[in-house]
Amino acid sequence: MKTVFKRTPTLKDCVTHYCPGCGHGIAHRLVAEVIDELGIHDRTIGIAPVGCAVLAYDYLDVDMVEVAHGRPPAVATGMKRTNPDKIIFSYQGDGDLASIGAAEILHAGHRGEQITVIFINNAVYGMTGGQMAPTTMIDQVTATTPRGRVGAEQGYPLQVSELLATLPGTIYIERCSVHDPAHIRKSKKALRHAFELQVDGAQGMSLVEMLSPCPVYWRMPPAKAMEWIENEMTKVFPLGRLKG
Amino acid sequence: MCGNEALAEAAIIAGCDAYFGYPITPQNEVPAYMARRMPQEGRVFVQSESELAAISMVFGASATGKRAMTSSSSPGISLMQEGISYLAGAELPAVVVNVMRGGPGLGNIAPSQADYFQATRGGGHGDYRTIVFGPSSVQELVDCMILAFDLADQYLMPVMVLADGILGQMMEPVVLEKKTSRELPAKDWALTGAKDRDQNIVRSLWLKEGALEAHNNKLQARYEQIQRDEVLCEQYEVDDAEIVVVAYGIAARIVRGAVTRARAEGIKVGWIRPITLWPFPTEEINKAADEFRIFLNVEMSSGQMVEDVKLAVAGKTPVAFHGRPGGGVPTVDEILDKIRQLTLRAKIPV
């Protein structure tokens, strides 16, 4: 018998705390695979956010730190500037990156920090119980938009990646999705490129946004959640390379 | 050198690998000096987008085992409390300088000592302390900076140096040298990449039942050791004194002038000057209160350290207070008048 698929070493052999149908498991695996394929396991430092992925260090077997809400790009700056030989990545959700940490991601990009940012966009705050995120879709029902998000009242879905792509300090930005195998493979390719740029010492920040399902707080079965990404989310958050 | 530049050079002597900061008066000479000097030394200087980011950058550098610092002034230090709490929780060393100005709010840019409570009570959320220095000369500021980096590494916690607008701006001759070095524990917890070892994790989240309580107890045990071993204070002519003036920082410099003049008038007065504000010289003050003496606490605030003095005196003798808030600086004459008034009281034991 030939093994055609196995756990990659940087992904720990354990059960995660993620809900059924959550996209974090897929994203974690892709990050771990890329780290192993590039052979950078022993010089990579990861930053876990506040949010559902706060325990990412329990699943990813690299040196990791857990930091204050929204601050991963600033922490990454402190790490990379003092350790230019290390590979630094932050793993952040939409609340962390696009709301409370909007200043930190903007200015890390603005300064052209040589870090890799993994941005998980599931259009909702998962950890705290499904509140509205900056990326929440119009009409999407959340704990804090019980009648659905209304643009004129709560603002429109924030396209952070488009915003960051305007900065001279960002070198590569791509929006991907994990809603089906073809898109998962594209996501991995993007992640690999983002890490490779840092390994090669390219001058600037790379970011991969991944549209990711949250069936529990989208109030739909996992399969429907995948369809919702394909049919609804990608209209507001179009997939593809935004820069680089 | 002016205090702000001297403290910056002291950090370089202490082996500070990285400085992160955001402009705010009256400490702007620090980042300006660091912007020039750190690259000369092949070290890191970054002007951050905010104080929130500055302290988070310090957190990042520190998590990799590097020596890192930031400086700010009162309103900026309030913003940094988030990161200081995280540093305390994650057991990371760091040096934070607060060149205090008047408050609350935007306040003013005059010298002040109004952040004593914030500094000595932790300042941010959670059960924690920071070691706090309150130097009273540019030389002592330099010496405290150098010691601060060692203490931060030894006890794995943020250390604050409280200066004020006067100390930051005034020029005094200084000797810039590292006089002592402590034996410090290896930073085997640092995030350096998991090469030939298991993964290292730096965290402040403890979800399992009882885990955070155990973590807090560990921190408290460390704080008790610091209270035992690291108190610094100066005493002057306390033995025969009927009045003991307690003051720190620049207020203590003014007190010294008043005490010298009072002694010349034949008043038996001495002083106790805490150099570490936390750990506080509780025992030293308590011992001095064994004999009947009136304590006079002088601060550039509405009365903050006076609470610690009262706790230390423990009701044994009276504690009087003279303070100037909002950037007011007490004069030698003011303090001398207060001492003269108290001599009348000192003759009639309560």
- In this structure, the answer to whether residues B158 and B256 fall within a common structural domain is no
Query: Is pLDDT above 90 for B179?
Result: no
Domains of chain A and CATH, by start: 24-243 (3.40.50.970)
Which residue has tokens 């200084």?
B174
Scanning B42-71 for CB atoms below 8 A from A yields: 44, 46, 48-50, 52-54, 56-64, 66, 68
Cβ-contact B298, B245 below 8 angstroms: yes
- In this structure, the answer to whether residues B173 and B223 fall within a common structural domain is yes
Shortest distance, CA B77 to any CA of chain A (angstroms): 16
Across the interface, of A44, A74, A103, the residue whose CB is closest to B193 is A44
Amino acid identity, position B232: L
Scanning B7-26 for CB atoms below 8 A from A yields: 17-18, 20
Amino acid identity, position B16: C
- In this structure, the answer to whether residues B342 and B218 fall within a common structural domain is no
Cβ-contact B122, B108 below 8 angstroms: no
Residue A133 CA to residue B19 CA, distance in Å, equals 34
**Higher pLDDT among residues A226 and B178, named by residue:** A226
- In this structure, the answer to whether residues B186 and B261 fall within a common structural domain is no
Beta-carbon contacts of residue A5 (< 8 Å; ≥ 6 apart): none
- In this structure, the answer to whether residues B99 and B146 fall within a common structural domain is yes
Tell me the residue range of the domain where B24 lies: 3-191+200-229
Cα angle A236, A239, A243 (rounded to 5 degrees) comes to: 110
Judge: A71–B200 Cβ closer than 8 Å, yes or no. Answer: no
- Which of chain B's residues have a Cβ under 8 Å away from the Cβ of A96? none
Q: Does the CB of A65 have a partner CB in chain B at under 8 Å?
A: yes
Residue B167 CA to residue A167 CA, distance in Å, equals 41
Residue A88 CA to residue A56 CA, distance in Å, equals 15
- In this structure, the answer to whether residues B251 and B209 fall within a common structural domain is no
- In this structure, the answer to whether residues B251 and B206 fall within a common structural domain is no
Give residue-wise pLDDT tens across range B47-106. Answer: 999 999 999 999 999 999 999 999 999 999 999 999 999 999 999 999 999 999 999 999
Judge: A104–B201 Cβ closer than 8 Å, yes or no. Answer: no
Query: Is pLDDT above 90 for B181?
Result: no
**What number is the average pLDDT over the span B12-31?**
98
Total number of domains constituting chain B: 2
**What number is the average pLDDT over the span A90-118?**
98
Judge: B201–A66 Cβ closer than 8 Å, yes or no. Answer: yes
- In this structure, the answer to whether residues B93 and B119 fall within a common structural domain is yes
pTM of the model: 0.97
Q: Does the CB of A103 have a partner CB in chain B at under 8 Å?
A: yes
**What number is the average pLDDT over the span B155-173?**
96
B7 three-class SS: helix
Scanning B66-105 for CB atoms below 8 A from A yields: 66, 68, 82-83, 86, 90
- Domain of residue B115, CATH code: 3.40.50.970
- In this structure, the answer to whether residues B269 and B174 fall within a common structural domain is no
- Domain of residue B275, CATH code: 3.40.50.920
ipTM of the complex in this document: 0.97
- In this structure, the answer to whether residues B59 and B122 fall within a common structural domain is yes
Total beta-carbon pairs less than 8 A apart between chain A and chain B: 131
- In this structure, the answer to whether residues B254 and B133 fall within a common structural domain is no
Give B178's pLDDT tier (boundaries 50, 70, 90).
confident
Give residue-wise pLDDT tens across range B188-247. Answer: 999 999 999 999 999 999 999 999 999 999 999 999 999 999 999 999 999 999 999 999
Count other C-beta atoms under 10 Å from residue B198's C-beta.
8
Question: Could you tell me the CA-to-CA distances from B70 to A78, B21, B67, B137 in Å, in that order?
Answer: 12, 5, 11, 20
